[in-house]
Amino acid sequence: MSTTAQQDAFGATTPDAGVDESTPVLNAVGGDWDDLVDEAAALHEERIVVNMGPQHPSTHGVLRLILELDGETVTEARAGIGYLHTGIEKNMEFRTWTQGVTFCTRMDYLMPTFNETAYCLAIEKALGITDQIPARASVIRVMMMELNRMGSHLVALATGGMEMGATTVMTIGFRERERILQVFEAVTGLRMNNAYVRPGGVAQDVPEGTTDQVREIIPELRRGLGELEALLNENPILKGRTVDVGYLDLTGCMALGITGPILRAAGLPYDLRKAEPYCGYETYEFDIPTRDSCDAYGRLRVRIDEMHQSLRIVEQCIERLDAEPGPVMVADKKIAWPAQLSVGSDGQGNSLDHIREIMGESMESLIHHFKLVTEGFRVPPGQTYAAVESPKGELGAHIVSDGATRPYRAHFRDPSFNNLQAVAVMAEGGSVADVIVAVASIDPVMGGVDR
């Protein structure tokens, strides 16, 4: 455009006061929205381009969907991300390896235990201590992950039901998740963003009475799942909204790198807990539920079936915790931080015995504790990748070390990021209402997508 005129926000041209004609004027404007509108106008067709989100109650956070409509039919759908970018991966480069757990637990905030475990497994692989992790620590990790899997799936069903108008599904889902969060709070001190899994094990052993508490909620969770199944499985209204909606077959899943319940609802029983076991999953008895409907209804049923399998695993975990006392952190004191935590009269904190030793009995212990907390441990140069089967699919952690006490680079393969590629395939050709169901069946969490 001319160097002596500018367009205002509404496209009107106004004189460019006080600007010399030889001075170039550069206007920075958004790209995709204007391009789509101009293209639609040039074709002289009755098409509408709609921004759904990023402030929309049915987009599971700040997800922006750019929809091109022909009447009520979606002819083109694209996902716009980046509205919840936190810089977590970059921030981890400026913290010690252990402190990084506090960052990554906040990525997908509905599955913090999985974020922490994938990150710590990668660090342990780099340190060469994978086989030295105490058995009790691995059992605790598995129990917490399976409870977390149920909590994530319950939110997926609850929010998906709410978006379709089934408020009872929402209240039941959050009621059952509350039982799980109470266990998390008892074990870690926090309901979310726990930072409980640490390199070398877990921050502290489960408090006395935890296995009894978990035993008590298992039948309650089973009863709640039964209520959800009675409401959902053969509900003709729900099936009318979900059967053949958001269709994505196995070929499409493989082409897009889709994992998790979406892949298993397309008929492939791929689960990292079986395919590439970690944390001793090969020693547990459980099945991999699948469906062959390739639609939103199949994904819902897969998630319900997976919760039943998670309960099976949790039952095996509490039996092992009762039978296998022992340490919950690797024996190497150069790595085992934070030092011995315990539950005292003041809640959760450092054990009094440990404080007595480092503050009054051993100067060497105090120096070691100070250096371990402030500097951290060193990880040999190199790079490793470790993956876990999260509620949404393969969650991988790729860490690069230059031999320092901080990551040179930490990068995560978050399944929500990959799975969101399927929005276009699932939504195009359907109605606007079907977009809501398709996105809900993907179950994306934008904290994991943007990082």
Given the structure tokens 């359907």, which residue do they identify? 430
Q: How confident is the model at residue 412 (pLDDT cuts 50, 70, 90)?
A: very high
Least confident of 167-171, 358-362, 431-435: 358-362
What letter would DSSP give residue 329?
Answer: B
Over range 203-218, report the average pLDDT: 88
Residue-level pLDDT at 10: 41
* Percentage with pLDDT > 90 across the chain: 36
pLDDT at 36: 66
* Res 350: pLDDT: 62
Q: Roughly how many angstroms between the first and final C-alpha of the chain, as a whole number?
A: 38
pLDDT, tens only, 98-114: 889 999 899 888 999 99
pLDDT, residue 33, reads 65
* Predicted local distance difference test score (pLDDT) of residue 344: 55
pLDDT band for position 12 (50/70/90)?
very low
Phi, psi (deg, nearest 5) at residue 6:
-130, 160
Which residue, among 86, 78, 125, 79, has the nearest Cα to 105 in the 3D structure?
A: 86
- 9 band by pLDDT with thresholds 50, 70 and 90: very low
Average pLDDT taken over every residue of the chain: 84
Percent of the chain with pLDDT over 70: 87
Separation of alpha carbons 397 and 71, rounded Å: 43
Q: 9-13, 143-147, 431-435: which has the minimum mean pLDDT? A: 9-13
pLDDT at 49: 83
| φ and ψ of 203, to 5 deg | -65, -35
More confident residue, 388 or 32: 388
The CATH number, out of the four listed (1.10.10.10, 1.10.645.10, 3.40.50.80, 1.10.287.950), of the domain defined by the range 88-334+377-450: 1.10.645.10
> CA–CA distance from 317 to each of 138, 143, 207, 283 (Å)?
10, 6, 15, 11
Residue 351 has pLDDT above 70, yes or no: no
Q: Residue 13 — very low, low, confident or very high, per pLDDT cuts 50/70/90? A: very low
Q: CATH 1.10.645.10 spans which residues of the chain?
A: 88-334+377-450
The alpha carbon of residue 233 and the mean position of all alpha carbons in its chain are separated, in whole angstroms, by 26
Return the closest-CA partner of residue 124 out of 137, 105, 108.
137
At 248, phi and psi to the nearest 5?
Answer: -150, 110
